[in-house]
Amino acid sequence: MPRLLKAHLGVTFAFLYIPIAVLIVLSFNRAGMPTAWSGFSVEWYGKLASNPKILASAWNSVIVATISATIATVLGTLLALGVERARPSPARDALLFAPMIVPDIVLAIALLSFFTLLKFTLGLHSIILAHVVFNIAFVCAVVRARLKGFDWSLTEVSRDLGAGHFVTFRKITLPLILPSVIAAALLAFTLSIDEFIIAYFTAGAGQASTTLPMQIYSMIRFGVTPEINAMASIVMAISFALVLLAQRLNHGRIPGA
Amino acid sequence: MAPGLLWLTVLMIVPCLLIFVLIFFERGTYGGIDWSVATLGNFTRAFDPLYLSILLDSARIALTATIIALLIDYPAAYAIMKAPERWQTSLLFLAILPFWTNYLIRTYAWIVLLNPVGVINNVLTYVGAISQPLPLLYNEFAVILGLVYNYTPFVILAIYSALQRLDPSYAEASRDLGATAVTTFFKITLPLTAAGVSAGAVFVFVLSIGNFITPDLLGGGKMQMIGNLIYDQFLTARDWPFGATLSGLLIALMMIALLMQAVASGRARGDHHA
Amino acid sequence: MKFKHIPAFIAGSAFALMASISAAQAEKLVIATWDGYTPKDMVEKFKAATGIDLELTMHATNEEIMGKVTASGGEGYDIIFVSSPFAEALKKLDMLAPIDHAKIPNFANLYPEASQLKHDPGNTYSVPYTWGTTGLCYRSDLVKAEPTSWNDLLKPSDELKGKITMLATDRWLMAAAFLADGLSVNTADQANLDKVRDQLVATKKDLLAYDDTTFYSKLVSGEATLVHAWDGWCNYGTAENAKIKYMIPKEGSDLWVDTLVIPKAAKNLDAAHKFIDFIFNAENGKWVVENIMYKVPNKAAMDSVDKAMLTSYPNIAIPPADLLKYEQLRDLGDGMKAFSKTVSEIMAAK
């Protein structure tokens, strides 16, 4: 049994990593066709670096992810602090859980209809507004998990000693929850930078609000080129680095776990 | 607490309620929404056998993906739990890592692997196992594979968390009383981890049933799931009210799935105390 | 500052920042087009000629840009490239500005047929950019017999099964079956819809995929041997492999027209007209033929094209008078509901 289990785990890991490995290997493939090996080359990385549309969309994604993760981290952390101290409310918990499970396409069209009805001009800002919605929920969940074992008497002591709310937050609460807050922020950043459908529907006119996943989607739709392999490899390297960082900060726990 | 709740209310609850308002209106002759007449027409249309069959078909595909994911991921999570303590975190980390890279890219990887002149067919042809490429891509098989692949990391995580919380003394007691390892697993371990299993299952099911990207890219346009239908109604048919109706239907179906999960995990917790 | 105001402050500054991001990019002529559909150096040349900056935004499909434009009311765009039935829908939604011919001297470069298009006679709200036919594109070295009819695609012989693709865009998908049955490509009559539905459901079993973006590369790689294609895109395949050929089935084709329209909400109507005039100069039209390998309604441009192109890609030589024999796709109006239901039935079929 254990040997069988070990073998199963090995197969599962192979299943998870072979597709990724194949993409990375093929990103160094010289030929125009990405499916047969024809010699080592880094030219697709060069092509990528000189493609202004990809660079612009990557930059847009960074802007969206940074701002939406920042807003969501602040609001989500405060929400977590409030919720953990307030009386339990199933309705509120449902509200906090909903953004994580509403299908992307439903939230996307709901927001598009909403923005259209309000004659709200779409752009990067509307993507940011939308991304904050699901990011708040994730940040709140990560921080709440950390607060589960939190000793609230510490904050009471601080306040008994005459410290105000803000001082207590800054000197006591924040340092204790900081690792989970940073992990949550990195999680929010990663989720936002990868998100496609909601961005696709809530983006405004033009290259100015095209994000990287939107660019990747149109590249995939328009054909399999080694450029996508190169980009996939870079995107994966960056996300892996971020997760690794988040994991370190969150005391070896994977954010969201 | 207030700003966060306000944000969710204004940008999630209100737009979702708007969806339920749109249901009662008609598509304008050239697209968009005709606000002049309220109607129940979209309801009757949504309950047309055609659209119900697409919804049920999506549910069937999502359920298949869920079951396959559980069959792969439960033993995998179990194996991680049985691994030496110092390896567990790293193994778990390795299992979850792919989840954090771009969904489109993970899906695209399978196009490269599965297409008729792709890696798998090339290898099989090269070793002489096949003479004609296998039709691996652009069908239901590819879509289900894509869904299982994309959600596997999360399911392993959910089940592992449940296994970890399990008190090992139950299994020991069972073994001491003479039960075989297999009996112990099915009578003790599996029921006690039902909550984790159902959390993972609901996750895969809910994300699969509303999925748009996987059927779009791996189904070759031949697979119509409810997510694609909603997309088509909004963009191709430009029939927003009907697209909204189908979204409402999808939300309802998800609520049912969640309710079932709540009941299932409630029962699992009840067993635990008994 | 009190603690409880901090989130409001952060949210406020974030909004201000977001507003500035969006505002900073407004002072240009915004052109919505398909990727790679206009000359590469167009932005620089237009700037040199007129001093006006261009911003190009790409859409993958007509549907995508229609979604954006209906959502924004056309705001944010000055010129939109869309296929004629979509231009027609935008016009009927009252979202398009009239075309002022006095501001477009280069209209003189166009064939007379360019102003006889059924969706917009006299080019009142749209101008044609490219036009052509829809037919069959195939690997002449891999098919046993040259195709002659739409039925060669719809009822494929055994050797073709699993190696054919059809266009994914619903109107063209249905058009193939309408044409095979000698019906109008614009019918939304239920009996006709049912008839072609049954055919397309049957054909679906033999399809490799529905594809309207990469069918020609599937021919090049050999994944497919016979595909439903627009003439210009088939030429992309021919460019990589001369064995790839295009033909119009004996039952006929549709005439597709990709047009330029100016939304009413456009910020700068004068500049938009200047752009159309610029696009209609012979040099730009020639670029389209030689690089995109589409036919253009621009006589001056077509006359300047290297004659060798016409032998390598025979479909470029189809004369305008022949094109006009084919029926154009038109907006279906209220017929769209029945039509889209039929499409859903096909898509849902196993």
What pLDDT score was predicted for residue C38? 87
* Reported pTM: 0.87
How high does pLDDT run on average in chain B? 87
Class in CATH terms, B43-101+140-273: mainly alpha
Contact call for B113 and A86, based on CB within 8 A: no
What pLDDT score was predicted for residue B254? 81
Rounded to the nearest angstrom, the minimum Cα separation between A14 and chain C is 27
Contact call for A20 and B106, based on CB within 8 A: yes
Rounded to the nearest angstrom, the minimum Cα separation between A124 and chain B is 16
**Which residues 2-31 of B are in CB contact (within 8 Å) with C?**
3, 27-31
Domain with CATH 1.10.3720.10 in chain A: 51-249
Side-chain half-sphere exposure of A257, counting CA atoms within 13 A: 26
What pLDDT score was predicted for residue A36? 64
The arithmetic mean of pLDDT across residues C8-36, rounded, is 60
In terms of Cβ atoms closer than 10 Å to its own Cβ (0-12, 13-18, 19+), residue C125 is buried
Q: Which of B1, B107, B205, B255 to mutate to test the interface with A (most CBs of A within 10 A)?
A: B1
Query: By CA distance, what is A77's nearest residue in B?
Result: B1
The arithmetic mean of pLDDT across residues A133-147, rounded, is 91
Which 3 state secondary structure label does DSSP give C110? strand
**Which residues 121-180 of A are in CB contact (within 8 Å) with B?**
129-130, 132-133, 136-137, 140
Chain centroid, CA B214 distance in Å = 11
Q: Which of B236, B239, B242, B249 to mutate to test the interface with C (most CBs of C within 10 A)?
A: B236
Of chain C, the percentage scoring pLDDT greater than 70 comes to: 92
Q: Which of C4, C13, C208 to mutate to test the interface with B (most CBs of B within 10 A)?
A: C208
Dump pLDDT digits (tens) for C296-310: 999 999 999 999 999
Whether C56 contacts C43, CB under 8 Å: yes
Dump pLDDT digits (tens) for B64-76: 999 999 999 999 9
Query: By CA distance, what is C217's nearest residue in B?
Result: B117
Rounded CA gap, B106 and B216, in Å? 14
Kindly report which listed range (A77-86, B117-126, B214-223) carries the lowest average pLDDT score: B117-126
**Domain map (residue ranges) of chain B:** 43-101+140-273
E strands, chain C, where? 29-34, 54-59, 79-83, 126-139, 164-166, 207-210, 226-230, 244-247, 254-261, 327-328
How high does pLDDT run on average in chain C? 89
Name the DSSP class of C64.
Answer: H
A1 pLDDT more than 70 = no
Name the DSSP class of A209.
Answer: G
Rounded to the nearest angstrom, the minimum Cα separation between B214 and chain C is 14
| Whole-complex ipTM | 0.87
Rounded CA gap, B246 and A103, in Å? 12
What pLDDT score was predicted for residue A250? 66
Dump pLDDT digits (tens) for A58-67: 999 999 999 9
What pLDDT score was predicted for residue B57? 92
Which 3 state secondary structure label does DSSP give C279? helix
Output the CA torsion B43→B46→B52→B53 (10° steps): 160
A145 pLDDT more than 80 = yes
Name the DSSP class of A156.
Answer: H
Contact call for B51 and C210, based on CB within 8 A: no
Output the CA torsion C27→C33→C34→C36 (10° steps): -60
Q: Which residue has the tokens 């994309």?
A: B150
Rounded to the nearest 5°, which phi and psi values hold at C135? -155, -145
Dump pLDDT digits (tens) for B172-195: 788 788 888 888 888 888 888 888
Six token digits for residue A55: 């660079």
Rounded CA gap, C10 and B10, in Å? 18
Query: Higher-confidence residue: C12 or A151?
Result: A151
How high does pLDDT run on average in chain A? 85
Whether A155 contacts A168, CB under 8 Å: yes
Q: Which residues of C touch A125 (CB under 8 A)?
A: 15, 18-19, 21-22
CATH number for the domain whose boundaries are A51-249: 1.10.3720.10
Domains defined along chain C, listed by start: 3-130+256-324 (3.40.190.10), 132-254+329-348 (3.40.190.10)
Which one, of B42, B257, B206, lies nearest residue A106 by Cα? Answer: B206
Dump pLDDT digits (tens) for C46-105: 999 899 999 888 787 888 888 888 877 888 899 999 999 999 999 998 999 999 999 999
Rounded to the nearest angstrom, the minimum Cα separation between A102 and chain C is 22
Q: Which of B238, B245, B246 to mutate to test the interface with C (most CBs of C within 10 A)?
A: B238
The arithmetic mean of pLDDT across residues A17-36, rounded, is 80
**Which residues 5-44 of C are in CB contact (within 8 Å) with A?**
6-7, 10-11, 14-15, 17-19, 21-22, 25, 30, 32, 35
C341 reaches B (C-beta below 8 A):
yes
Contact call for B236 and C340, based on CB within 8 A: yes
Rounded to the nearest 5°, which phi and psi values hold at C123? 50, 55
Whether B113 contacts B146, CB under 8 Å: no
What pLDDT score was predicted for residue A254? 54
**Which residues 104-143 of B are in CB contact (within 8 Å) with C?**
115-117, 135, 137-138
Which one, of A42, A187, A55, A67, lies nearest residue A123 by Cα? Answer: A67
Which one, of C156, C167, C84, C70, lies nearest residue C121 by Cα? Answer: C84
C3 pLDDT more than 50 = no
Which one, of C103, B138, B109, lies nearest residue A17 by Cα? Answer: B109
The subunits that touch chain A, with at least 3 C-beta pairs less than 8 Å apart, are B, C
What pLDDT score was predicted for residue C24? 45
Rounded to the nearest 5°, which phi and psi values hold at C83? -70, 155
C118 pLDDT more than 90 = yes
Q: Please, which pLDDT band fits residue C215 given cuts at 50, 70 and 90? A: very high
Q: Please, which pLDDT band fits residue B266 given cuts at 50, 70 and 90? A: low
Rounded CA gap, B160 and B10, in Å? 36
Query: Higher-confidence residue: B242 or B119?
Result: B242
Q: Please, which pLDDT band fits residue B140 given cuts at 50, 70 and 90? A: very high
Q: Which residue has the tokens 């991921």?
A: B73
Of chain B, the percentage scoring pLDDT greater than 70 comes to: 96
Which 3 state secondary structure label does DSSP give A196? coil
